[in-house]
Copies of this chain bind each other. A is one copy, B any other.
């Protein structure tokens, strides 16, 4: 009852690295998929959105080419990829989903891709999360995967992503599996909810991808308490999401922005996001500068009013502002910034009970180098 994987080389990545992954599930599984809300979608996303009807048997993922911005050829190529996988594995074509990630606007060498599918399907082995993440990675500097086991309940998954990260639904490519049995209507609700608090609450560069896809797949083996499944799926999803931020292009540290005691949740969320994505906050963290003025300027920039004479700003445990300045706390906050790999910024709005947490990374010279030199 293992998930099987096959790996191929289509020459999409330089140096002949593996760039094609086929995943075969033990049977047709109930699943939920969320795709980018970007209107300029990858043809692979358009294809998978069209064929997915709540159940999936196999997935084919290529890296190094986004299959995006290539006109209607992209749709044909996605369909050919699904068809070839279905033929080789003798399964239904409409139970095969297609995912792509890489450079936008590069025509897909479809012959090479189909050959790579043939060899991937010819040698299937048990799913290795680390290896699967490596095969689908592009600018990632480390593989992203996680596994939790609580009693008999298992949740595990892998992801890729480092740049063009500002998900508006699922992020980049992420696949989370559980042995728990989830009904179709339940899995979708659970999936959307967890997605909002994990992949939809991270940003590297404020840039929404054309290829984001996040799948949650139920292997249907275990009747388990829904609350427990939900917690385990959220744990794995958040772990993968945070790994993407940690690997943010050029990033040296993770920024965790926690907004608490807001009157409504949307307000907490938009303020947390505004602070987390601010270039000025991100460069200040890189410069180890406890410049809370940039934090409150970002917090004030959403459509929601805030009371500047009431709110409190913390960096770690250091209270920097509460309607008045605390010059002594600046020095201890500076030390905190120098010593912390994960920098926690807390805004206490002092007005209600709602909260939200958003994750991003700092903005560094290396982000500029990576993205100025990453040529078309």
A side interface size, CB within 8 A: 68
Nearest B residue (CB) for A372: B287
Contact A207 B298 (CB under 8 A): yes
A305 within 8 A of B: yes
Seen from chain A, the residues whose Cβ lies within 8 Å of a Cβ on chain B are 38-41, 66, 68-72, 103-107, 163-164, 166, 168, 205-210, 277-280, 283-284, 286-287, 289-294, 296-302, 304-306, 308-309, 321, 323-325, 330, 363-365, 367-369, 371-376
Least CB distance, A270 to chain B, in whole angstroms: 12
Contact A206 B206 (CB under 8 A): yes
Chain A at the B interface: SS class? loop
| 11 A–B pairs (Cβ distance < 8 Å), ordered by A | A39-B299, A39-B308, A69-B293, A72-B309, A103-B293, A104-B293, A104-B294, A105-B292, A105-B321, A207-B301, A284-B372
Q: Which of B41, B287, B293 contacts A308 (CB 8 A)?
A: B41
Q: Which of B107, B209, B293, B300 contacts A325 (CB 8 A)?
A: B107
Chain B residues within an 8 Å CB radius of A291: 374-376
Q: Which of B210, B279, B280, B363 contacts A300 (CB 8 A)?
A: B210
Contact A297 B376 (CB under 8 A): no
Chain B residues within an 8 Å CB radius of A40: 296-297, 299-300, 306, 308
